[in-house]
Each structure stands twice: as structure tokens, then as C-alpha cells.
Amino acid sequence: MIKGIDHVVILVRDLDQAVANYKQLGFNVTPGGEHTDGATHNALVAFADGSYLELIAFKRAAPEHRWWRHALNVGRDSGGLIDFALLPTAIESDIAAARQRGLDYKGPFPGGRQRPDGVEIRWQTGQPTTPDLPFLCGDVTPRTLRVPSGPAWVHPNGITGIDTLVVIVRDVAESAGRYEALLGSEGHDLTEGEADTAKKAGSPDFVNFKEFAPGPSKIILADTVNSQGQIDEQLLKVYGGGGPFSLRFKAPQPVTFDPLLTGHIKFTTV
């Protein structure tokens, strides 16, 4: 069983600069450490709902890395919002369940990092075969070692968690079928009012929607067409054929985000 969104991955060119930027945006940022392959290092923005943002940067050229294809595009208008992970209850059984429902997931594969304090963290991932789907991230060591909590949840901007992650896809109906196979539950068709809200959180050019709520945060799939009424291939290419498009956060009052500090990622609050 999938518990919900584990984390959202934001690729940046310079980790120290990104940390400074996110602190200026009012986030509390925790140093994460270096991944075991030595290719990347990260910092985390953790929320009280259990999810977090991962700010990640490459330390060296790594063409073998699954995210390296995004590395040359960090400066694109969409910023570096490149992937997201769901939290499984038991990764092997959740992958097996998805396969039984006809969805191909690879893994589990080992992963890990060393925190700045020297603590070694280990996890396993399940990897999709299409770009519209998230990966799975299941802990081997306690999740409390991987994800900051307590004081790390308190942000000067007041944000408490992720309300909605908007994911751009080629075809909502096709992607919704894959998400249903992954989650084991059906999606929700948005009302007209909900669709208008989703457009504000994402793009006014979005056409079709499907919502999933595997945990405290929602995932909205959206597709888009160009001025000729055709699939917007150029926009899809920018997002690697599909993937996370924008984030709406939970906050007690509206927060304004400087796009120069977010890397032009669209952040809103509800």
C-alpha cells in the first residue's frame, strides 16, 4: 500500500546557492549529505505532513545517473522540478502488487547517503518505465534518520506541507490507468471549479485532469494542447515527456514566491 508523497526532487546547479535561496523564501533547510555513488549531494525542506523537498545537485559528471539528462536543463523556464517519490508500506510487496495489476516497475534497487554528521542512511527504490510515474522510496534504515522532523518542520513562511503536486502528462486517461495500477485505487474527476483551481496551480492551458489522493497530499494529472489544439510536444519535451509541473503548499496565509529564487518553479499556497 502506498502511503503518500514521500518527497519531490528539485535539481539545482549550485546546492549552497539553492539553500540560500530557499532560506530567503522562508523555508527551513536541513543539510542532507552526499549520496553513496558520490555523484550528488542534497539538502532537505521537511514538512509536518511527512513529505519533503529534496534540493539536489551533481558534484561531478554522471551520464549513468537517471537524472543526468536533466542536468543541462536546470536553467530552463520550469526550473529544476524533475521527479517525485511515493512512500511504500513495503516496497517489494508494493512493486509486486503493481505488477499484478499490469504495471511494470523495476527494482527494488539499493540507495543511500551519508549525512554531514556521519550517519549512514539506506533505502530501496522502485523505478517506473514511463516518465509520467513517480519512483518509490522505501527505507532500510529508520525513516527518522532520512527525513528531518521536529524543529525542521517549522518554516518562517508558515508552510506546513504539500497540498497538491500537479503532474503534466501526455494523455490523462492513459496515465490515470497507470496510476490506478500503481495505487490500487481509482482517480477522481475534477469538477469545473476544481479544474479552475488546478489551472491556477498549474497552467491555464491544461485541458483534462484526474486527481489521486494516496495520502495527505493530492496528485493531479493534467494534459495540455497548443494553439492548434494538438498535444503540446514542446512543453512535454521540456518536462522530459511528463513529470512534476508545479507545487501548491499548505499555509495559514498566502505566501508570495520570487521566481528568481525558486528557479522559475511555480509555487502557490492554499
- Give the chain's domains with CATH numbers: 2-152 (3.10.180.10), 158-269 (3.10.180.10)
- 82: closest CA among 105, 53, 61? 53
How many CB atoms lie under 10 A from the CB of residue 4? Answer: 17
Per-residue model confidence (pLDDT) at position 160: 98
In the predicted model, residues of the chain with pLDDT beneath 70 are 74-79, 227
How many CB atoms lie under 10 A from the CB of residue 265? Answer: 20
Per-residue model confidence (pLDDT) at position 78: 39
Assigned C-alpha cell, 67: 537524472
Q: Quick check: helix, strand or coil at residue 258?
A: coil
Per-residue model confidence (pLDDT) at position 134: 98
DSSP notation for 143-171: HHHHS--GGGG--TT---EEEEEEEE-S-
Per-residue model confidence (pLDDT) at position 265: 94
Helices (H), the chain: 15-24, 68-71, 91-100, 143-146, 172-183, 192-201, 233-238, 259-262
Q: Is the sign of the CA dihedral 238, 240, 241, 247 positive or negative?
A: negative
Distances (CA, A) of 99 to 22, 88, 89, 126, 185: 38, 14, 16, 12, 14
Per-residue model confidence (pLDDT) at position 224: 86
Q: Which residue matches cell numbers 471549479?
A: 193
Q: Is the sign of the CA dihedral 175, 179, 182, 185 positive or negative?
A: negative
How many CB atoms lie under 10 A from the CB of residue 205? Answer: 14
Per-residue model confidence (pLDDT) at position 233: 86
Strands 81-88, 135-139: pairing is parallel
Assigned C-alpha cell, 137: 522510496
- Read off the pLDDT of residues 138-188 as tens digits, 9 standing for 90 and up: 999 999 999 999 999 999 999 999 999 999 999 999 999 999 999 999 999
Q: Quick check: helix, strand or coil at residue 66?
A: coil
- Read off the pLDDT of residues 238-254 as tens digits, 9 standing for 90 and up: 888 899 999 999 999 99
